[in-house]
A and B are shown apart, each in its own frame.
Chain A
Amino acid sequence: MDLITEITILVLAAFVGFEVISKVPNTLHTPLMSATNAIHGIVVLGGILVIGSADGFFSKAILVIAIAFGTINVVGGFLVTDRMLEMFKKRPEPKKQVAEAAEASK
């Protein structure tokens, strides 16, 4: 792929990134940061793609560490985000019922 095509993709994707995030409630800042954190773990692809062509023990060792780091970033990032969001999920339902019940009893 030529450089200018890649830069085109880069710039367009940057605008998507700006656009998507422009309206986010405060509450979701932490989970969102954590989720985007997991997404940049996509660098693990870099390690997977180059390890085969790398020569020598040292280069391979560096790349095994890189793949391990990338995997930690991806797996850990998505799991931690899920744990945070799990708590948001269960919250409104029972409370709404309580509020409605209180409303009804008035």
Chain B
Amino acid sequence: MILPVASFLTDQDFINVLYIVAFSLFIIGMQRLTKPSTARQGNMIAAVGMGFAVLGALLTPSTGDYGLIALGVAIGVIVGVPAARQVKMTAMPQMVALFNGVGGGAVALISWAEYRHYIGDLGGNPPLETLIPILFAAIIGSISFWGSNVAFGKLQEVIPGKPIVVPGQQIVNGLLLLAAVAAAIAIASGSESEGLFVLILVAAAILGNMVVLPIGGADMPVVISLLNALTGLSAAAAGIALDNTALIVGGIIVGASGTILTKLMAEAMNRSIPSIVAGGFGGATAISSSGDDGEAKSYTSTDAADVAIQLAYATKVVVAPGYGMAVAQAQHTVRELADELEKRGVEVLYAIHPVAGRMPGHMNVLLAEADVPYDALKEMDEINPEFPQVDVTLVIGANDVTNPAARTDEGSPIYGMPILDVDKSGTVIVLKRSMNTGFAGIDNPLFYNDNTSLLFGDAKASVADVLTEIKAV
């Protein structure tokens, strides 16, 4: 153990000081990130910490090939900066998934290169205290890379958001994990084989795909958070293999905080992490909805003029926004509508489900973008008791988070998930594109209630129509 402060500052000591500064800044940054007023500053502090860490790595005497390093960094900047700058706020969750994936990919590739270095140049397997972390990093990194890519594909709707179920899924997954671990044990117990190492990477890659594919879109935020924690763990393992404190600390604080964050998110959805990973929404859905709904269900549709009258003469209106509102870019028009109603003395509140949008807090970001007043945003626990006093609830592009089946239908896959009790308000107006089911692929009984009417069409156009009609009332 080197004590940089006590001894004379040799190169390696100085570098370790840089690492200490770096991970201290990570921790301070994360602390600030937990409060809205200091969050942005916290992110910048963490970024500065990363600068110190990279500086330390560049100054390390054994570091070489600066040309290739510059090439890698240049490619990363050219790809990463425009991607981060241009991504729409609505597409933020899949962007985070993608950034997480490349992190996991980097871990897997580094562990592969490091193993090649040992067996090729140094003539044999590394000592176990290096080898085991390398193998661990390879497995987890590869799972994280491929899992995140599938999560990206699902959120981007390149891959269907509905669960994709393969028969014997669990058994296949078990066998894949077994194959990866068995190959890792074979290497650890003395086999020197790059072939086995590649087998580990491939088995973990298929496993990453297989685990995330059957998970329904609605669970995706939890999955991304879980994969984020896993990438952190694999980075920490790489840190042990490379004897690098910055990597160990940076990786493990993400692993630890990511685990907590995943648990918080899963709790907000009343889902347990094991049941999400074991197989998502879906299997039970078909059985449940075909079983109890023999008769054709009827719904009431309405028009903009009618909605305008109901809103204009209400005293309290709640907007329950969902991802559909964001996709239609309707948030600005919704704010204009709310402003117009407030001019007429109507109280307008926004009911924010913890997982509205596609990630916890995603909806707050989207509404903030449209300058919706902070104090009009009500969290679920705060607004739910108020619904019986609400005259009109406008459900805009939200579906699963308003589904009363979560309260009543034990057969429903979302049974037990906390929802916005919009059905308890006087009138519910649902703005929908069509009668399709939501992202989770589950039918919503709310649409067939007597006090619910549906306004079909693009959310933005519908809200604009209602706004025009209100101005005419």
Q: Is the Cβ of A24 less than 8 Å from the Cβ of B72?
A: no
SS of B interface (majority): helix
Q: Which of A16-30 contact B (CB under 8 A)?
A: 16-18, 20-30
Binary CB contact string for chain B from 111 to 122 against chain A (1 if under 8 A, 0 otherwise): 011101100110
SS of A interface (majority): helix
Q: B136: CB under 8 A from chain A? A: no
Determine the distance from Cα of A10 to Cα of B58 in the docked complex, in whole angstroms: 23
Q: Is the Cβ of A20 less than 8 Å from the Cβ of B253?
A: yes
Chain B residues in 8 Å Cβ range of A52: 62-65
Chain A: which residue is nearest B97 at the CB level? A37
Chain B residues in 8 Å Cβ range of A42: 50, 53, 235, 246-247, 250-251
Chain A residues in 8 Å Cβ range of B57: 45, 48-49
Binary CB contact string for chain A from 57 to 90 against chain B (1 if under 8 A, 0 otherwise): 0111011111111111111111111111111110
Determine the distance from Cα of A38 to Cα of B360 in the docked complex, in whole angstroms: 18
Determine the distance from Cα of A15 to Cα of B249 in the docked complex, in whole angstroms: 11
Q: Is the Cβ of A80 less than 8 Å from the Cβ of B75?
A: no
Determine the distance from Cα of A14 to Cα of B374 in the docked complex, in whole angstroms: 34
Q: A104: CB under 8 A from chain B? A: no
Determine the distance from Cα of A58 to Cα of B264 in the docked complex, in whole angstroms: 42
Chain B: which residue is nearest A6 at the CB level? B240
Q: Is the Cβ of B109 less than 8 Å from the Cβ of A69?
A: yes
Q: Which of A27-54 contact B (CB under 8 A)?
A: 27-54
Q: Is the Cβ of A75 less than 8 Å from the Cβ of B80?
A: yes
Chain B residues in 8 Å Cβ range of A26: 268, 354, 360-361, 364, 379
Q: Is the Cβ of B248 less than 8 Å from the Cβ of A31?
A: no
Q: Is the Cβ of A73 less than 8 Å from the Cβ of B33?
A: no
How big is chain A's contact interface, by range?
35 or more
Q: A3: CB under 8 A from chain B? A: yes
Q: B96: CB under 8 A from chain A? A: yes
Binary CB contact string for chain B from 75 to 106 against chain A (1 if under 8 A, 0 otherwise): 11101110111010100110110011011011
Q: B238: CB under 8 A from chain A? A: yes
Specify which of B81, B103, B114 lies most central, judged by the most chain A CB atoms within 10 Å of its CB.
Answer: B103
Complex partner residue of A95 from B31, B117, B373, CB under 8 angstroms:
B373
A83, chain B: closest CB distance, angstroms:
7
Q: Is the Cβ of B113 less than 8 Å from the Cβ of A63?
A: yes
Q: B368: CB under 8 A from chain A? A: yes
Q: Is the Cβ of A51 less than 8 Å from the Cβ of B361?
A: no
Chain B residues in 8 Å Cβ range of A101: none
Q: B9: CB under 8 A from chain A? A: no
Q: Is the Cβ of B253 less than 8 Å from the Cβ of A39?
A: yes
Given A21-B30, A80-B84, are A45 and B246 also a contact pair (CB < 8 Å)? yes
Specify which of B71, B89, B92, B379 lies most central, judged by the most chain A CB atoms within 10 Å of its CB.
Answer: B92
Chain B residues in 8 Å Cβ range of A87: 89, 365, 368-369
Chain A residues in 8 Å Cβ range of B359: 29-30, 33
Chain A residues in 8 Å Cβ range of B243: 1, 6
Chain A residues in 8 Å Cβ range of B64: 51-53
B375, chain A: closest CB distance, angstroms:
7
Binary CB contact string for chain A from 88 to 103 against chain B (1 if under 8 A, 0 otherwise): 1101101100110000
Complex partner residue of B249 from A9, A51, A56, CB under 8 angstroms:
A9
Determine the distance from Cα of A94 to Cα of B371 in the docked complex, in whole angstroms: 9
Q: Is the Cβ of B238 less than 8 Å from the Cβ of A13?
A: no
A92, chain B: closest CB distance, angstroms:
5
Determine the distance from Cα of A64 to Cα of B107 in the docked complex, in whole angstroms: 12
Chain B: which residue is nearest A92 at the CB level? B374
Chain A: which residue is nearest B364 at the CB level? A27
Chain B: which residue is nearest A55 at the CB level? B121
B85, chain A: closest CB distance, angstroms:
7
Q: B1: CB under 8 A from chain A? A: yes
Chain A: which residue is nearest B251 at the CB level? A40
Residues of A within 8 A of B (CB): 1-3, 5-7, 9-10, 13-18, 20-56, 58-60, 62-89, 91-92, 94-95, 98-99
Known contacts A13-B252, A17-B252, A38-B99; 17 further A-B pairs (Cβ under 8 A): A6-B239, A6-B248, A9-B249, A35-B33, A36-B30, A36-B261, A39-B26, A43-B251, A46-B235, A49-B62, A55-B117, A66-B113, A77-B96, A82-B43, A85-B43, A87-B368, A95-B374
